[in-house]
Structure 1
Amino acid sequence: MTRIITLFCILIAQISFSQTAESYLEKIRNNEALLTAFFQQMPKGGDLHHHFSGSVYAEPLLERAIAEDFYLNLETLAVSKTKPANGNWENFSSLKEKGKLEYYEQQIMQTWSIKDYNGSVPSDDQFFDSFMKFEPTIKGHFAEGMLELKKRAIAENVLYIETQLSTIPCDMNVSDLSDFNTKLRQAASQKDEKTVLKLLADLHKSLEKKEAKKYAEDFNTNFLAKLHKDLKIDDEKFTMRYQNFVLRFMEPVDLFKNLVIAFISSSESKLTAGVNIVSPEHGQTSMKDYWLHMVMFKYCHSKFPDVKYTLHAGELTLGLVQPEELTWHINDAIYVAGANRIGHGVDMAYEANSYDLLKHMAQKNIPIEINLASNEFILKVKENRHPFTLYKDFNVPIVISTDDAGILRSNMTEQYVLLAKRYPDVNYETIKKYVYNSINYSFIQDESVKKQLIKDLDNRFKTFEAKFSKN
């Protein structure tokens, strides 16, 4: 009897899976549990839009803060290794003695991530403000975070992560160059690109005299290469590369200094995968200096033509900024800065001459990094309001990414679930193409590494699709 039951179960299994992966996907379009099981097992290639600090989940960060007895600001829920002079701070051991630790643990989880988000603060503030609150727990603990991300990636069949790991430390004194801030902004206000480029060339010469190169070399050798090697990050199951990045809210001289160092670093290390620019795009300084930042990238490209860069552009929506500010950020990221990829691109429908811009992206193979969960939470843009279909219909190369999976309490699997459920016209073969895009359009410098990842994808898809074939 036991044998009969076993044979019956095998027969049922064979009947259930006597189909292709594509036909099975179409059957489960509206069932999130079945979609999750499907995409959890499907090979997912790479995650190209990925912030390291925002991708580590809050739980281990909080555990570290408690174990190392950090001080907690009882009002903002930021933490500090030492007690700041101002503010209402108390260390975790004291909170535990008073029986208040559990209460604050819950509050912290809801502040350092979107866990149990209730709308009490604007979603964009909730997201962007969280970084500085938990940042002290990251310092000195990159290794733990990298291993966490690797383990999670392997578990959900992600082969590659291209993460923005850390800014490059630099204590260079540029106070004597502060006049460039005024001069650059004056020229930028007139959109005088020729003058801006001349000022940047002069500024670059001054930075070279201050040994900008040594900061890049120190970062590459004593931090990045050492950490990557010691942790044995790359193996037969997983690969990681690193984007250098700069912060939009800095003054022009400081930002350009960091940008030059980032480009030097990327030009001299195969572990780096290009350069990026981060921080809220709608911030006051970000908006004021946006065009200037794009010209800075154009200048650096002229000096380091082999370095690739992806730019956060168009992470904006109606209501967040004035309508006219929605019309030019992606345009300038592509036509002025010369970006190799675009991150977010949510305001595409509002961009001036958006059809021509989309055609240009398609013709020049400039991919868009789509972050569905992120765009939904931060910008409240999803489904038919999201420009995903615009990019798809104009044949712009698409890659699917997480952005900040830790803060957003998400993962790569969920991004594909959202994609399949919200856009039923995207079939399995198209989704599979997006997966391959995430390797083909990566900034991996070593072509042999990229070829091996493609080979691994071929083998993994062969194994995955065999589950749905007739036996």
Structure 2
Amino acid sequence: MTRIITLFCFLLTQLNFSQSAENYLEKIRNNEAALTAFFQQMPKGGDLHHHFSGSIYAEPLLERAITEDFYLNLETMQVAKAKSSKGNWETFSSLKNKGQLEFYQQKVMQTWSAKDYNGVSVPSDDLFFDSFDKFFPVIDGHFAEGLLELKKRALSENVSYIETQLSIIPCDMKVDDLSDFNSKLRRAAIQKDEKAVLKLLDDLFKSIQQKDAKKYAENFNINFITKLHKDLKIDDKRFTMRYQNFVLRFMEPVDLFKNLVIAFISANDSKLVAGVNIVSPEHGENSMKDYWLHMVMFKYCHSKFPDVEYTLHAGELTLGLVQPEDLTWHINSAIYTAGANRIGHGVDIAYEANSYDLLRYMSKNKIPIEINLASNEFILKVKEGRHPFTLYKEFNVPIVISTDDAGILRTNMTEQYVLLAKRYSDVSYAKIKKYVYNSINYSFIQDASIKKQLLKDLDSRFKTFENQFSKN
């Protein structure tokens, strides 16, 4: 009986501490500086929607490009190790000798990221999506430095887990002999003939297997992911990281499916590879044309590798970016056709056909939405009341808060929670805390004991955090 009373008193005390934190949050709700201090210290669990290359800040990338004396395209601000025959290229050392380095440093920063963006010079979505190719040559071969930078930043703002999309899986498999499948798959997709598509994918899958697809997955898992992760000692008592494989929407169907099969094999065979995703602008030509086909491809791969989880960028669209009818079915297809375990962005949910039924389905089946507030504001110009956050909340869809591409967007996890609390005053501290726990509960971590430990660690971190407010 004494133990029960003691436990009750402990829980009551913690409830009081949590209420004190709630009261303090309401007190500072309209003070952005105070909110920043509050959320900087609050435990934030995991960042589940996270692109590695887009999360590295431009400063260290530019510093490396200057140190290694890359060539810079003076029109596009793209860098390269070797000079191209097209365009006006100069080395950074040459620019320094001419006294022009500082000028071009500023232009690079404004092209590789949202720094100083004026909303006029170039469409925000173009600036965002075009930036990756401009700075990627500086990232290539320097994944270790980037991972350590991300870990250090995560620790500084009380983030204990990142599930990052690190790299495509290198693959030089020759598939020219399979090119006929491109037109066959697209013809079947136009007719929405799922049975025909699945039959074609079955034939294609067998051919890809015969070309030793497993070899590419094994090499990636052993010689890249596992080696990098262990050499850097990424996981420790304070921090854990896992990786998502991804494929590129703009590729031709055969190439994309080849990469998708290898991505699933890799995720199936490694506990460090948490799942699979699909990226690139959703409004791109091939992305729109082949969207349904891509969803059937995920469905097919799931039938072959049922233990592999996947989250899909879906509904990262808004009125004006595409035709109205193109806003009505992408999330539906990602969930009902592909069977996605999580949805990334989901911004066009209000336009989706039978959106209330879709929201109820997501709620009932515990399919989380990855909310990326700063990203959606910059790329799509969607924020506050136009953002569907409230819709997801009202229908009890599990919500996780993520950064997307913090480096390009010049943001961090703390700012996502500041925006959340500032813009949606009806979101209580208890709800926000729930979103934090969601980021671990709905992660794709395969080892149950690691997930359990991360949740236990969150309990401890929140206890420490909330105890501060008992003194106020």
Equivalent in the alignment of 2:90: 90
Structure 1 CA distance for aligned equivalents of residues 102 and 118 of structure 2: 19
Equivalent in the alignment of 2:419: 418
1:65 aligns with 2:65: yes
Q: Deviations over 1:181-208 (max 9, x none)?
A: 0000000010000000000000000001
Q: Which residue identity is paired with 1:192?
A: D
Q: Which residue identity is paired with 1:211?
A: D
Given that residues 18 and 466 in structure 2 are in contact (C-alpha distance below 8 angstroms), is that contact kept between their aligned partners in structure 1? Answer: no
Equivalent in the alignment of 2:306: 305
Q: Which residue identity is paired with 1:366?
A: I
Could you list the runs of 4 or more consecutive aligned residues of structure 1 that deviate by over 3 angstroms after TM superposition? none
Structure 2 CA distance for aligned equivalents of residues 374 and 236 of structure 1: 30
Q: Deviations over 1:374-425 (max 9, x none)?
A: 0000000000000000000000000000000000000000000000000000
- Using the TM superposition, give the Cα deviation of residue 65 of structure 1 relative to its aligned residue in structure 2, in angstroms: 0.5
SS at match of 1:22: helix
Q: Which residue identity is paired with 1:342?
A: I
Equivalent in the alignment of 1:437: 438
Given that residues 19 and 470 in structure 1 are in contact (C-alpha distance below 8 angstroms), is that contact kept between their aligned partners in structure 2? Answer: no
Given that residues 21 and 468 in structure 1 are in contact (C-alpha distance below 8 angstroms), is that contact kept between their aligned partners in structure 2? Answer: yes
Structure 1 CA distance for aligned equivalents of residues 347 and 402 of structure 2: 14
Structure 1 CA distance for aligned equivalents of residues 259 and 212 of structure 2: 12
Structure 2 CA distance for aligned equivalents of residues 109 and 470 of structure 1: 43
SS at match of 1:20: helix
Structure 1 CA distance for aligned equivalents of residues 55 and 439 of structure 2: 18
Equivalent in the alignment of 1:223: 224
TM-score by length of 1: 0.96
Equivalent in the alignment of 1:193: 194
Q: Which residue identity is paired with 1:222?
A: N
Structure 2 CA distance for aligned equivalents of residues 136 and 438 of structure 1: 32
Equivalent in the alignment of 1:264: 265
Equivalent in the alignment of 2:287: 286
SS at match of 1:309: strand
Equivalent in the alignment of 2:450: 449
SS at match of 1:171: coil
Equivalent in the alignment of 2:109: 109
Equivalent in the alignment of 2:345: 344
Given that residues 375 and 381 in structure 1 are in contact (C-alpha distance below 8 angstroms), is that contact kept between their aligned partners in structure 2? Answer: yes
Q: Deviations over 1:105-157 (max 9, x none)?
A: 00000000000001210010010000000000011000000000000000000
Given that residues 19 and 469 in structure 1 are in contact (C-alpha distance below 8 angstroms), is that contact kept between their aligned partners in structure 2? Answer: no
Equivalent in the alignment of 1:212: 213
Q: Deviations over 1:276-301 (max 9, x none)?
A: 00000000000000000000000000
Equivalent in the alignment of 1:28: 28
Unaligned runs of 5+ in 2: 1-16
Q: Which residue identity is paired with 1:30?
A: N
Structure 2 CA distance for aligned equivalents of residues 93 and 58 of structure 1: 19
Given that residues 343 and 370 in structure 1 are in contact (C-alpha distance below 8 angstroms), is that contact kept between their aligned partners in structure 2? Answer: yes
SS at match of 2:87: coil
**TM alignment of 1:16-415, pairs within 5 A:** 20-119=20-119, 120-415=121-416
- Using the TM superposition, give the Cα deviation of residue 24 of structure 1 relative to its aligned residue in structure 2, in angstroms: 0.2
SS at match of 1:406: helix
TM-score by length of 2: 0.96
Structure 1 CA distance for aligned equivalents of residues 39 and 92 of structure 2: 40
Q: Deviations over 1:305-342 (max 9, x none)?
A: 00000000000000000000000000000000000000
SS at match of 1:149: helix
Structure 2 CA distance for aligned equivalents of residues 28 and 407 of structure 1: 29
Structure 2 CA distance for aligned equivalents of residues 259 and 244 of structure 1: 9
> Percent of pairs identical after alignment?
83
Unaligned runs of 5+ in 1: 1-16
Give the stretch that moved more between structures: 357-366 or 18-27: 18-27
Q: Which residue identity is paired with 1:97?
A: N
SS at match of 1:339: coil
When the two chains are superposed, the root-mean-square deviation of aligned CA atoms in Å is 1.0
Given that residues 310 and 340 in structure 2 are in contact (C-alpha distance below 8 angstroms), is that contact kept between their aligned partners in structure 1? Answer: yes
Structure 2 CA distance for aligned equivalents of residues 224 and 58 of structure 1: 24
Given that residues 22 and 429 in structure 1 are in contact (C-alpha distance below 8 angstroms), is that contact kept between their aligned partners in structure 2? Answer: yes
